Amino acid sequence: MNSISNQIEKIILQHGTRGMNRLRQHMEPGYCERAARLILDNRGVALIGTGFPVSGSFESDGPIGAIALYHVLGHLGHKPIFVCAPPISKILARDFATHELPITGWNETRPVVRQVLTELKPSLMISVERPGVSADGRYYNMRKEDITHFAAKYDLFFESGFCPTIAFGDGGNEIGMGNLYDALGELDIIPSVTCCDELVISTVSNWGVYGVLAILSKQLEEDMFRFINPQATVEHLVANGCVDGVTMRLEHTEDGFPITIGIGIIDELRELVLP
């Protein structure tokens, strides 16, 4: 399985321009397999945070993978619940179990997080392309612009130590990237300090989700990709104001890549694990 996971990690790190390939050398190989194992070993309520603030809206990288993961987790017997802030929380709540996290300060958010943990008792917490707080206590995008006033403090769930955590990231400023904080000095970003139990890096965070779904497909001998539809998902999100995080335009892309590239990644993964 480690050999398969290594091949998967090469696939999801294709087309990279932001240094994730260089970061891989600082990680123990097999991270997709370990993330899949956490999913299988910790069934129950699974909290999923996603939605990176962009231009008053949110970007497509993150929600596409998070929605895919939501469907698969439900199939596997989890009770997935999105924990997100407006505006994406309003959109997801129409079709999915969603708990809205307010965009407030740290002190105001802490009791909200404690209440959610007490009420929902999660067995697993996941972040898919959520901004992670930096060492100065603020949030920054890939352009080093301060987005603190638009960012809910989802990091507090990961800092609680309540249950295992998985994070998906592709730039270094996301929740979970604190695992690689020392190595992130190589990149031209303001890095996140928030850590996780298992970090999944990829060229596009959505592709990292696909890598974990590929491992699950291999281990369970069942095609997990049949539960997802990235094309339909991006069309729905864009129709509701979602933008590309790189181009900041309303278009059917993810981090500047046409959605067909991500679908091609799925095809490669499928061929590898379900020949």
Q: pLDDT tens track of the chain, all 275 residues?
A: 678 999 999 999 999 988 898 899 999 999 999 999 999 999 999 999 999 999 899 999 999 999 999 999 999 999 999 999 999 999 999 999 999 999 999 999 999 999 999 999 999 999 999 999 999 999 999 999 999 999 999 999 999 999 999 999 999 999 999 999 999 988 999 999 999 999 999 999 999 999 999 999 999 999 999 999 999 999 999 999 999 999 999 999 999 999 999 999 999 999 999 98
| CA separation for the pair 129, 61 (Å, rounded) | 7
Residue spans of the domains in the chain: they are 2-273
At residue 1, the pLDDT reads 67
Q: What CATH code is assigned to 2-273?
A: 3.90.1640.20
Q: Are 35 and 168 contacting, i.e. CB atoms less than 8 angstroms apart?
A: no
Burial degree of 3 (CB within 10 A; 0-12, 13-18, 19+): exposed
| Torsion over CA: 162, 66, 191, 108 (sign) | negative
| Torsion over CA: 184, 172, 102, 98 (sign) | negative
DSSP state of 256: T
H or E element that contains 7: helix 2-12
Q: Are 193 and 178 contacting, i.e. CB atoms less than 8 angstroms apart?
A: yes
Q: Are 54 and 142 contacting, i.e. CB atoms less than 8 angstroms apart?
A: no
* Spatial CB neighbours of 186, under 8 Å, sequence gap ≥ 6: 19, 22, 23
Return the residue matching tokens 């060229």.
Answer: 203
Q: Whole-model pTM above 0.95?
A: yes
Q: What is the pLDDT of residues 150-162, one digit of tens each?
A: 999 999 999 999 9
Q: What is the pLDDT of residues 17-68, one digit of tens each?
A: 888 988 999 999 999 999 999 999 999 999 999 999 998 999 999 999 999 9
